[in-house]
Amino acid sequence: MKEWQDIDLNNPKAVLKQALDLYHPRITLASSFGLEDVVLIDMVTSIRSDARIFSLDTGRLNEETYQCAEKIRNRYKTNIDWYFPQFDSIQKLERGKGLYSFRDSTENRKECCGLRKVEPLNRALQDMDAWITGQRREQSVTRAELKVIETDTSHGDITKINPLANWSSEDVWNYVREHKLSYNTLHHRGYSSIGCAPCTRAIKPDEDKRAGRWWWENPEHKECGLHTKEEDSK
């Protein structure tokens, strides 16, 4: 990990500024075009108009997600690097286990996530020294110990930066409204998290923020493999 200067870790833009200074062009922002991601895109493009952004097209995204992505691309005049699953792997899975095998067991769900998300993510990060995510501690029990700056041991010890780790949902919404950002219209329908269409639903007012993801599973299992626990964090 490169040497970070002392900065306010509660100031996402300061974190992003130093991250881009240290790692550009070998740093990229992961976006699924949820609320946190559009906030980060607004911040990084204000720091560097050529900041790198990528997204994973799993083949099962909502139409609203594509519409949001196009609005973002047009607003900031930025390129989105899209990564797709390997066709042969998905064809083999669906021919052998059908279209909804991920609902049969946690093992099957992780297999699907592995093919549609994890493998494309590995390709997206293979030449990177750092990546940026929109994760927040408040989102779920699996992210309660999330750090702003981490070492990602799953991807060759590159640096993983979570600038919004300390933010609340209210903080995110306040930024969106203040800066008049375009965002995924699924949020108007009760979606607090954006993922694949068959695996994401709206949540009820009294439910956890991640309750709409893989709602048939226990909360402690609700990660797709993109984010694992890292070491050497601060």
pLDDT given at position 232: 41
Task: Of 78, 40, 37, give the one whose Cα is nearest residue 56.
Answer: 37
According to the model, what pLDDT value does residue 32 have? 95
Q: Which of 68, 113, 199, 224 is catalytic?
A: 224
Could you identify the residue written with the tokens 């991640």? Answer: 210
Distances (CA, A) of 123 to 22, 181, 206: 22, 29, 38
pLDDT, position 206: 85
Would residue 115 count as lying in a domain?
Answer: yes
Tell me what pLDDT residue 233 has. 42
Q: Is 7 contained in some domain?
A: no
Identify whether 96 is part of a domain.
yes
Is residue 151 included in any domain, yes or no? yes
For the chain, 234 residues long, give each residue's pLDDT as a single digit of tens. 788 989 999 999 999 999 999 999 999 999 999 999 999 999 999 999 999 999 999 999 999 999 999 999 999 999 999 999 999 999 999 999 999 999 999 999 999 999 999 999 999 999 999 999 999 998 766 677 899 999 999 999 999 999 999 999 999 999 999 999 999 999 999 998 899 999 999 998 888 877 888 888 877 555 555 655 543 444
Q: How many CB atoms are located within 10 Å of the residue 5 CB? A: 8
Secondary structure letter of residue 89 according to DSSP: H
Q: Is 163 helix (H, G, I), strand (E, B) or coil?
A: coil
Quote the number of domains for the chain: 1
Confidence (pTM): 0.89
What's residue 193's pLDDT? 87
Range of the domain at 32: 12-221
- Retrieve residue 54's tokens: 């990528």
Name the token pair of 104: 């049969």
155 found inside a domain: yes
Per-residue pLDDT, 197: 96
Residue where the block lists tokens 């923020």: 209
CB-based contacts of 217-224 (< 8 A; 24+ apart in sequence): 217/106, 217/109, 219/140, 219/141, 219/142, 220/141, 220/142, 221/106, 222/140, 222/142, 223/142, 224/110, 224/113, 224/117, 224/118, 224/195
* Alpha helix stretches (DSSP H) within the chain: 12-23, 35-47, 63-76, 87-97, 106-113, 119-125, 169-178
Tell me which residue of 163, 172, 137 sits closest to 19, measured CA to CA: 163
Report yes or no on 233 lying in a domain. no
- Does 224 qualify as catalytic in the annotation? yes
Residue 230 located in a structural domain = no
* Assigned domain for 160 exists: yes
Which CATH number belongs to the domain containing residue 81 in this structure? 3.40.50.620
